[in-house]
Amino acid sequence: MRPFLLPTRRCLKLDPFLSVPCRFPRRRSSDMATVNKTAHPFDKTRLEALLNRRFFYAPAFEIYGGVAGLYDYGPSGSSLQANIINEWRKHFIIEEAMLELDTTIMTPAPVFETSGHVARFADWMVKDSKTGDVLRADHLVKNVLEARLAGDKEARGQAAAPKEDEKDKKKKKKAAKAVAVQLADDVVKSYEFTLAQLDNYSGAELGELCRKFDIRNPDTDNEVTEPQQFNLMFASSIGPTGQHPGYLRPETAQGHFLNFSRLLEFNNGRVPFASAQIGRSFRNEISPRAGLLRVREFTMAEIEHYVDPLDKSHARFKDVRDTVLDLLDRDVQLSGSTAPTKMTIGEAVDKGVVANETLGYFMARIHMFLLKIGINPKRLRFRQHMANEMAHYATDCWDAEIENSTGWTECVGCADRAAYDLTVHSKKTGHPLVVRQALKEPVVTEKECPEFNKKNFGKTFKQDAGVIQKHVEGLGEEELLKIKGELEQGKTTITIDGKSFELSPEVLRIERRTFKQSIREYTPNVIEPSFGLGRILYTLLEHSFWSREQDVERGVLSLPPLVAPTKVLIVPLSAKEEFDPLVQEISSKLRRAGIFSRVDDSNTSIGKRYARNDELGTPYGITIDFASVQNHTCTLRERDIMDQRIASIDEVIATVTDLVEGTIDWEEVCRRLPAYDGVQAID
């Protein structure tokens, strides 16, 4: 999420097609072992069809033809997002008493001039020389060269490229227009060298590569123009005069920094503390394509933790010290490996792999958060930024990367931004963004001070007195000592703008004085964890998706109850009126318990309704049939193993409340409630 870096590019480079089965072993009862979630390999096309069908999200303005990089979240996606945000707020803001902010998206241009975004938050683009179509220069080079290399491999009869989904394959073939053409060995080498360096090329160099390798627009086979810089901020104008340019923020961070003084005051002047904000940001990507992973409008959650630059320890580091993380540090990457090291965060900080405790603390907390909402820990790693990848001011930066069907994607950035932002804004506006700390023991210093005998001095030098005084007061310690010595000898001569003045001890004395400093003033450093919620949401959906062993068509989203859009589905046998009172009773009792439920009384079989809700990720189902009306009972169904239990309505509600709150598991449910052996509600 750092502004000047473009993460997906990098992630793809590291391991573009690594594919691990979408399996997420969660703490569950032994019964759960009977479900084989990897019976069918992960199928992205099926998942995307499901997400579209169940309206998790869809292209925005679809009926107007859609706009690349803009997506609307439907009821399922919105709830999932709201639940993730809710948990984020608890896990970070409430747990650590952070100061929440809600700052504006529309931002006047001077702010981003200061932050560096106006000059540097840009990508290189080329245009098709005939059609004017715009392409991102580095993506073009990458796609064409990778496709040619793939064609070369095929021609040489080597193993086909690693599995990828058909759509991507087609695109790449089209991009190359050079399927199964063998290349000279030195050409292969130079392509590979170029791809490895891709992040380092300037615009001019990318243009040179296009000419050197005859890289054209794959859609038209036309040549492309010289690369031009394109700023990724959406521009607008504030007010009616047209004289106040503004931008939509590309990150929420600047809104924190500009309010630093107010936040510090709110926190009674004390550091460390953190501000936090959840909100929309915008990046006008040149040609966004990767679904929710690269979009033009997205929801972020950012923390700015302000810390004394001389003391980056963290009071609660001891609580996370033993958390084991998969760390892919800079040195390992330089050695050409992408194999992370398992290490406790305590060890990593002790060894200097991670720069300081505060950074380490947040890495561990990020890890815990991602696991809590359902990210597969085996597909999560922390990758350290390379020296040339990091913003120039940053001290250290680690990305939480989550593996998905496109490779490893940066989903959370965790950077030590040092004092950069507060310093530049303070310098620009003249508003001090500093901490004033009362020192426990005052710092005592001594220095030489000029003392003028005002009466004699004024009488002697008249209109020159002011100039001389200003000059002497501006002198350094060494010069004052020299004058002091000369005065002790009787007199000293000083020269100002070619004019000399002779001073005697009668007009000037230099005295050594003692100073006591009881306040220390400093610009705090900022540790910034920055979350791309859309990316987390999408990777979570990939990690949660599987199909029933007996039927690949029956997709399931095993979302944890904590974030599942709906917690309980209420299923009356039919829409018959006699079930209404029970449906009402269960709904309102669940509502009172704070459990979000939905009723599905549509005209299809119960099995079909459950299948639909497995796709929606609803963890529990309550079924009402004629026996319910007679006995005031209902059944409780678990989504993943499709086990059903039966009990009184109140017992079932109490049990499902405990389940959703995470205080019991299904094994405990099995002990509490008898199995249901009826037939009506079976899937």
- Residues 55-84 contacting a second copy, CB under 8 A: 55, 58, 60-64, 67-68, 70-75, 77-79, 81-82
* 290 makes contact with a second copy (CB under 8 A): no
Residues 6+ positions from 140 with CB-CB distance below 8 Å? 126, 210, 215, 217, 224
Q: Which of 110, 245, 309, 377 lies at the binding interface for a second copy (CB under 8 A)?
A: 110
The answer to whether the CB of 234 falls within 8 A of the CB of 248 is yes
Q: Is 404 in the site for a second copy (CB under 8 A)?
A: no
In the complex, what is the shortest distance from the CB of residue 240 to a second copy, in angstroms, rounded to a whole number? 5
CB 430 → a second copy: shortest distance, Å?
8
| Residue written as token pair 């503390």 | 273
Q: Which is nearer to a second copy, 255 or 407 (CB)?
A: 255
**Which distant-in-sequence residues (6+ apart) come within 8 Å of 161 by Cβ?**
17, 150, 153
> Following DSSP, what letter does each residue of 518-538 receive, concatenated?
EEEEEPPEEEEEEEEHHHHHH
State yes or no: residue 598 binds a second copy (CB under 8 A): yes
- Of residues 100 and 667, the one with the C-beta less far from a second copy: 100
Q: Does 440 bind a second copy (CB under 8 A)?
A: no
Give the pair of three-digit tokens for residue 86: 């809710």
Which of 212, 262, 427, 576 binds a second copy (CB under 8 A)? It is 262
**According to CB under 8 A, which one of 152, 164, 297, 401 is a site residue for a second copy?**
297
Does 317 sit near a second copy (CB under 8 A)?
A: no
Size of the site for a second copy (CB under 8 A): 82
CA gyration radius, the chain: 33
Q: Please give the angle made by the CA atoms of 595, 601 and 606, to the nearest 5 degrees.
A: 95
Contacting range for a second copy; rule: CB under 8 A; set: 89-97, 350-358, 399-407, 624-632: 89-97
Residues 606-625 that bind a second copy (CB under 8 A): none
Which of 174-182, 265-273, 447-455, 480-488 is the region at the interface with a second copy (rule: CB under 8 A)? Answer: 265-273
- Cα–Cα distance measured from residue 83 to residue 305, given in angstroms and rounded to the nearest whole number: 24
* Helix ranges, 356-408 (H): 357-373
Q: Which stretch binds a second copy (CB under 8 A): 16-24, 140-148, 263-271, 440-448?
A: 263-271
Q: Within 216-235, which residues bind a second copy (CB under 8 A)?
A: 230, 234-235
Phi/psi region, residue 69 (left: phi>0; alpha: psi -120 to 50; beta: rest), is left
CB atoms within 10 A of CB 223: 15
**How is 576-633 classified by DSSP, letter by letter?**
-GGGHHHHHHHHHHHHHTT--EEE---SS-HHHHHHHHHHTT--EEEEE-HHHHHHSE
Q: Which of 103, 129, 194, 437 binds a second copy (CB under 8 A)?
A: 103
Q: Which residues pair with 526 in a beta bridge?
A: 306, 418
Among 265, 446, 553, 677, binds a second copy (CB under 8 A): 265
CA separation for the pair 471, 492 (Å, rounded) = 14
Please give the single-letter amino acid code of residue 102.
Answer: D
Phi first, then psi: what are they for 575, rounded to 5°? -80, 10
Candidate ranges 7-15, 335-343, 543-551, 592-600; the one touching a second copy (CB under 8 A):
592-600
Among 27, 30, 132, 388, binds a second copy (CB under 8 A): 132
The reply on whether position 88 binds a second copy by CB under 8 A is: no
Q: Kindly identify the residues of this chain, within the stretch 482-501, that bind a second copy according to CB under 8 A.
A: none
Token pair recorded at residue 187? 């050409």
Only one of the segments 96-104, 202-210, 319-327, 500-508 lies at the binding site for a second copy (rule: CB under 8 A); that segment is: 96-104
Dig out the tokens for 25 from the structure.
């072993």
